[in-house]
Amino acid sequence: MHKRTVLHAAVAAALLSTAGLAGAQQAPFKIGLILPMTGQQATTGRQIEAAAKLWMAQNGDTVAGRKIELIVKDDTSLPDVTRRLAQELVVNEKVDVLAGMGITPSAMATAPIATQSKTPLVVMAAATSSITEASPFIVRTSFTLPQVSVALADWAPRNGIKNVVTLVTDYGPGLDAEKFFKSRFEFNGGKVPESLRVPLRNPDFAPFLQKVRDLKPDALFVFVPSGAGAAVMKQFGERGMDKAGIKLIATGDVTDDDQLNDMGDVALGVVSSHHYSAAHPSAANKKFVEAFQKANKAMRPNFMAVGGYDGMRVIYEALKKTGGKGGGQALVDAMKGQIFESPRGPVFIDAQTRDIVQNVYLRKVEKKDGQLWNAEFDVIKDVKDPGKSK
Amino acid sequence: MLTILFDGIAYGMLLFILALGLAVTMGLMNFINLAHGAFAMVGGYITVLLMQKAGVPFLLCLPLAFLGSALLGGVLERTLYRPLYRKPHLDQVLFSIGLTFMAVAAVDYFVGSTQQILHLPDWLRGRTELGEGAWTLGMGHYRLFIIAVCAALTIVLQAVLTRTRFGARLRASVDDQRVAAGLGINVNVVFLSTFAFGSGLAGLGGALGAEVLGLDPAFPLKYMIYFLIVVAVGGTSSITGPLCAALLLGIADVAGKYYIPKMGAFIVYTLMIVILVWRPQGLFVRQGGKA
């Protein structure tokens, strides 16, 4: 039964590529956006959908004579559902581009479908380094964890932090963050006396934080999924670790713009490194944040939103470049090497890795007009994903 | 080291209060209620929403969380649970786990899936340190508060179960419903109030735990396994059993994660297996009755 479905898919996909050429000019250009709209990762889906719709509202829904049609599907962040939806979108809806992908396993599950059907897959959220290597049709507009962790590992030793304990959640992105932070930090002359891994379903951070306190490092490096970040910060403060002279440094997931305001004053002063902050001081970003908040009842855009927004731009530009013709390989080729000014700053889609090259900013949580923001104070320019240096 | 012990006790106490209601329904009423965590989640959300939307002070939220979940528990007992008392355990398990999934989806729909963040009053936030060097005892005020609340509750509960007329009626109803009814005990009312009380305890546990454990719609599924371990290890025929089990597991979990972080997550399970091999009925078993 299952084999047959796959076979159907393959046949239909083959038909699609020939049929697509014949009637290309008139048919709408379909983008299949697969996102977690419910469940644990629902905020990711909400942010990206809002950003994609904002892009379409600002830039029109016709590109090079073709009408753009956005089909949003909810995969509830279950990879097998993502895979099934991607298959349906490719076979039944005959989408020209797949996009979205809230978590790494979803992107990995969809990669073979992109390869087989020669459909470009624009990854707007998932951030494990190896994703773009899973298919030659994957283009990423979000970020990678090695990218942001390495930037922090470069910044810390230059600012008097020589001894760091790492604390990550024990799953793909966490291990990426730990590995790349540690190796770069040690390369820069720093010391990592202990690397702690917290189970994904961890009830209480107390033992880990107490361990860190007793080890007395200069700083604690944290990567946890954004929801758990607030709990770590709170307990960090309550344990009096800042008073014991330990700094908290983290990747930007921990001080996610979407939730930062709810975290309250415990977040103040936390130093993080990330590719996007809603407080990024550029005209393009001000415009983006304003329009986003206007369209979405004062919801603040976060790094997920900017990944979705830029993903739409990459698709639009690629379609323009092919003169409205589309076609899988042509679209991917047109996406490679795009350089543009994103709300996060200048970015570049690396032609070799199809991954994004961007500035990584160092930010500190500050209070402005009664709200908390990730205020940028330093930048490391044009960071290429270090996960693909070989 | 003392700090670790302290954190472990606080965490164990929290597990105890969360699991206690389950021990009551499962042990005393012989009903497998896997939806127990859902009542805890309701308590947590009542607290968070009251604090965020209505600005109710934290201390007032705790009894409200208890009452809210107790009320919900009472209503559900009357409408959904009662017909299932005489059904096989498998039916009860399937029913209550279905209820859990519905609760998860409902909270997701109405409140959203993001992690809820509690803002504690300042006097609960600090930390006191005693002693020097290796014998430093650092006590977070909130954890101290948890220990105090749980200890008080344990004493009251133990007294209610063993010393009062209601306790005697409950024990009689559990041991033999027909004889108890023949003696003029209204078994339905006893069960209804016991179930509501158990749900209320879960709600209180959820309200207290939201700060330490975090609160999102997946709460009942995330912690179900911990409640079940506490009840399985402690046995279900008294409240001393679950109390000892929760403390043991809390301390073992915290100490394990502190001293051997790489193994830490498995210590609880190892301990559970060892205890259950040694005493399959749980740590403490009441003599007589149907344990």
Type of residue numbered B33: N
The CA angle B88-B92-B95, to the nearest 5 degrees, is 135
Nearest CB partner across the interface for A203, out of B142, B226, B261:
B226
Say if strands A219-223 and A247-251 run parallel, antiparallel, or are unpaired.
parallel
Report the distance separating Cα A62 and Cα A143, nearest Å.
28
Nearest CB partner across the interface for A204, out of B119, B212, B216:
B212
- A368's enclosing H/E stretch is strand A356-368
The torsion angles phi and psi of A358, rounded to 5 degrees, stand at -155, 170
Q: Where are the alpha helices (DSSP H) in A270-327?
A: 283-295, 303-321
| The two structure tokens encoding residue B88 | 């096989």
Answer yes or no: is pLDDT of B43 > 90.
yes
User: What is the rounded average pLDDT of the residues B163-177?
Assistant: 82
pLDDT in tens, A146-205: 888 888 888 888 888 889 999 998 888 888 889 989 999 999 888 888 888 888 777 678
Report the distance separating Cα A212 and Cα A239, nearest Å.
11
Report the distance separating Cα A249 and Cα A242, nearest Å.
11
Report the distance separating Cα A379 and Cα A289, nearest Å.
20
Q: Is A103 on the interface with B (CB under 8 A)?
A: no
Report field, pTM of the whole predicted structure over 0.90: no
Q: DSSP assignment of A321-349, as one string?
A: HTTT---HHHHHHHHTT-EEEETTEEEEE
Q: Is B140 on the interface with A (CB under 8 A)?
A: yes
Looking at residue A389, its pLDDT comes to 58
Nearest CB partner across the interface for A230, out of B117, B129, B212:
B117
Name the nearest CA neighbour of A228 among A207, A203, A257: A203
Q: Is A197 on the interface with B (CB under 8 A)?
A: yes
Which residues of chain A fall below pLDDT 70?
Answer: 1-26, 203, 226-227, 389-390
Q: Across the interface, do B142 and A262 touch by the CB < 8 Å criterion?
A: no
Q: Is A236 on the interface with B (CB under 8 A)?
A: no
Type of residue numbered A128: T
Least Cα separation, residue B286 to chain A (angstroms): 31
Which residues of chain A are within 8 Å of residue B49 when distances are taken between CB atoms? none
Say if strands A345-349 and A356-368 run parallel, antiparallel, or are unpaired.
antiparallel
Nearest CB partner across the interface for A208, out of B125, B212, B261:
B261
Q: Is B43 on the interface with A (CB under 8 A)?
A: no
Nearest CB partner across the interface for A40, out of B113, B211, B265:
B113
Q: What is the dihedral of CA B97, B98, B102, B104, to 10 degrees?
A: 30
Least Cα separation, residue A304 to chain B (angstroms): 15
Report the distance separating Cα A248 and Cα A236, nearest Å.
8
Which residues of chain A are within 8 Å of residue B254 when distances are taken between CB atoms? 204, 206-207
Looking at residue B223, its pLDDT comes to 85
A-interface mutation test, from B257, B262, B269, most A Cβ less than 10 A away: B257
Name the nearest CA neighbour of A138 among A285, A331, A272: A331
- Minimal-distance CA residue of chain B relative to A194: B261
A23 CB-near residues (< 8 Å, 6+ apart): none
What is the separation of C-alpha A235 from the centre of its chain, rounded to a whole number of angstroms?
A: 27
Q: Across the interface, do A231 and B115 touch by the CB < 8 Å criterion?
A: yes
Least Cα separation, residue A212 to chain B (angstroms): 9
Instruction: Give the ipTM of the model, two decimals please.
Output: 0.79
B227 CB-near residues (< 8 Å, 6+ apart): B15, B18, B19, B22, B36, B37
Type of residue numbered A342: S
B-interface mutation test, from A44, A234, A257, most B Cβ less than 10 A away: A234
Say if strands A164-169 and A138-140 run parallel, antiparallel, or are unpaired.
unpaired
Residue A61 contacts residue A29 (beta carbons within 8 Å): no
Q: Is A201 on the interface with B (CB under 8 A)?
A: yes
Looking at residue B199, its pLDDT comes to 92
Name the nearest CA neighbour of A169 among A140, A149, A198, A195: A198
Q: Across the interface, do A207 and B253 touch by the CB < 8 Å criterion?
A: yes
HSE-up (13 A, CA, CB side) for residue B212: 30
pLDDT in tens, A103-142: 888 899 999 999 998 899 999 988 888 888 888 899 999 9
Answer yes or no: is pLDDT of B114 > 80.
no
Nearest CB partner across the interface for B11, out of A206, A234, A238:
A206
Number of Cβ atoms within 10 Å of the Cβ of A240: 16
A271 CB-near residues (< 8 Å, 6+ apart): A247, A248, A249, A250, A362, A363, A364
Least Cα separation, residue B104 to chain A (angstroms): 9
Q: Across the interface, do A203 and B213 touch by the CB < 8 Å criterion?
A: yes
Q: Is A239 on the interface with B (CB under 8 A)?
A: yes
Say if strands A339-342 and A371-383 run parallel, antiparallel, or are unpaired.
unpaired
HSE-up (13 A, CA, CB side) for residue A298: 2
Looking at residue B290, its pLDDT comes to 44
pLDDT in tens, B3-32: 888 888 999 999 898 888 888 777 777 788
Looking at residue B263, its pLDDT comes to 77
Q: Is B113 on the interface with A (CB under 8 A)?
A: yes
Report the distance separating Cα A262 and Cα A251, nearest Å.
18
Q: Is B131 on the interface with A (CB under 8 A)?
A: no
Q: Is B111 on the interface with A (CB under 8 A)?
A: no
Which residues of chain B are within 8 Å of residue A197 when distances are taken between CB atoms? 261-262
Q: Across the interface, do A201 and B126 touch by the CB < 8 Å criterion?
A: no
Measured N-to-C along each axis, helices A104-117 and A79-91 cross at an angle, to the nearest 10 degrees, of 30
Residue B266 contacts residue B227 (beta carbons within 8 Å): no
Which residues of chain B are within 8 Å of residue A239 when distances are taken between CB atoms? 127, 138, 140
Nearest CB partner across the interface for A211, out of B126, B261, B265:
B261
B287 CB-near residues (< 8 Å, 6+ apart): none
Which residue carries 């829904």 as its tokens? A61
Looking at residue B47, its pLDDT comes to 93
Q: Across the interface, do A263 and B125 touch by the CB < 8 Å criterion?
A: no
Share the mean pLDDT of chain A: 84
Report the distance separating Cα A213 and Cα A117, nearest Å.
52
Report the distance separating Cα B31 and Cα A334, nearest Å.
63
pLDDT in tens, B172-218: 887 777 888 888 888 888 888 888 988 999 999 999 988 888 888 88
User: What is the rounded average pLDDT of the residues B246-263?
Assistant: 86
Name the nearest CA neighbour of A274 among A151, A136, A174: A151
Q: Where are the alpha helices (DSSP H) in chain B?
A: 2-23, 36-49, 58-76, 89-111, 141-163, 165-175, 177-182, 187-213, 219-234, 240-259, 264-278
Nearest CB partner across the interface for B113, out of A39, A207, A238:
A39
Which residues of chain A are within 8 Å of residue B266 when distances are taken between CB atoms? none
